[in-house]
Amino acid sequence: MADRHRGPLIVGTGIAGLYIAIRARELGLKPELVTKARLEESNTRYAQGGIAAAIGRDDSVQRHFRDTVRAGAGLVDRPAARVLTSEAPARIADLVRLGVPFDTIDGQIQLGREAAHSRARILHAGGDATGYSIEESLRHRVLEMGIEARERTILREIRSRGSDPPEAVVSAADGTGIETLERRPLVLATGGAGSLYRQSTNPSVTTGDGVAVAFRAGAIVSDLEFFQFHPTVFFRTGAPRFLITEALRGEGAVLRNVHGDRFLPAIHPDGELAPRDVVSRAIASEIERTGHPCVYLDATEIPRDRLYTRFPSVCRFLATFGLDPARDRIPVAPVAHYTIGGVSTDTDGRTSLPGVYAGGEVASTGVHGANRLGSNSLLEGLVFGERIARDLLHPSAGGPHPPRPPTPIPWPAGAGGPEDPGRIDELRDRLWREVGIVRTAAGLTAAVRAFDRMRSALEPTRAETPAGPGANAALVSSLIARAALARTESRGSHYRSDYPMPEPRWARRLYWIRQGPAG
């Protein structure tokens, strides 16, 4: 029988994975980290905007809670949001203790404002290099503590059996050297699925593997129709999709169309500080109306010294294209950014599979509802990461409790076809085109059929053979499209042009599970 006291296996090394590993070690456990690329490669590293917490004198946990609920468009799990906002200040104190160099003024942490926040409560480190600063601080602490970490290693399968801890099947990044690890608690901190979209801010490692592997093993997933698109990403043919932080709009930058006209004040009373879904759709609509491929972020009214002090990464990037934000308008367009849904968990990170936890972007706690409040994502990894670490020390029975049984999804017979880069290109194009900012029944129906055909072609023919990355990508894409097709309304980051208004009967979360035997 497996040693139930063996340290956890933590898959993923963004803020959630690194923080859980550190706290597990501090609590006396012996965690092991696994990551599909380098230790430092994750969405966290590229996060510019910051991390939210009610630590200002004019702020309160209740205000942060209200802003989170308001942004979530009627679907926020309120107990989860109370956990997130009430425990935020303590988790910020942890980051300070772990060496994160937050920006200060006269010895006090500097706080910025972002869209849909009623107060300045966004902490930054290194100006717009917050994610990088956090990732580096936590990575160095992991190395100092001697926590074992296996790089370029992929989670291929979870084998769950009764109430026993799961087995994890891993391999090298190229698919060779498949290995079954002994049973122990497993923490999924694998991040989101943004890079499955043709246009995305995410690094290439964010392909939804955690959701795919957990779903195959029989875990409940939820909220996958809600995918957040960041409204202001640098646009130039052939250039990388570099995120232009929302904090620029918090400092007073405005959006203009190709004719130089502002368009957001006519759409939302908060103008450029409206929720991200509103701004993204407004930009997409303006692009379609004018026939111009982008709009422009105008930060020329912000003093030059403040721009270059507060946004050094953005200014350096723009300089490589001959642009000076103090003088030039920045071409921007919305792209895929954040996976709101994922593996369903309770507020202690427990999934419906015994001994399997999920934290960070791969998890679906319900805390974001239908639309994530900016800068709550890094915070989510910390707050629920702490709870996961404590439950690992003193395990308790639990898991998500959907208010109704999850909808079963039929499982196709696998043909075991070869991985084909052309298929992945087709998948990314179709996701962007048919499961993007604006959706329709016709497009979603076609997408579900295409992804299911691809999934059937790539799924292994034998249950004992782990699925490859193409099968995982097709499965996650199918889940996103299927959930979006099922929700016949528009709410938060999910917009259906054929059902453009929210409907009271849809003020509920959607849960999904694999039909038939799993594991």
Give the residue numbers marked as catalytic: 276
Q: For residue 110, what are its two tokens?
A: 């500097």
The torsion angles phi and psi of 243, rounded to 5 degrees, stand at: -70, 130
Taken as a whole, the chain contains a residue count of: 519
Burial class (CB in 10 A: 0-12, 13-18, 19+), 121: buried
Tokens 């009373």 -> residue: 269
Cα–Cα distance for residue pair 249/112, rounded to 1 Å: 11
Task: Count CB-CB contacts under 10 A for residue 153.
Answer: 19
Of all helices (H) and strands (E), which one includes residue 276?
Answer: helix 276-290
Asked if 29 and 150 touch (Cβ cutoff 8 Å), the reply is no
Q: For residue 311, what are its two tokens?
A: 């946004």
Euclidean distance between the first and the last CA atom of the chain, given in angstroms as a whole number: 19
C-alpha angle with apex 52: 46 to 53, nearest 5 degrees? 145
The torsion angles phi and psi of 23, rounded to 5 degrees, stand at: -70, -35
Closest-CA residue to 8 (of 219, 137, 165, 211): 165
Of all helices (H) and strands (E), which one includes residue 179?
Answer: strand 179-181
**Helix crossing, 469-486 with 441-458: angle to 10°?**
150
Burial class (CB in 10 A: 0-12, 13-18, 19+), 308: middle
Q: For residue 159, what are its two tokens?
A: 């084998």
Per-residue DSSP letters for 238-272?
Answer: TS---B--THHHHTT-EEE-TTS-B-STTT-TTGG
Which residues partner with 172 through β-bridges?
Answer: 153
Tokens 């901190």 -> residue: 189
Q: For residue 278, what are its two tokens?
A: 């509103």
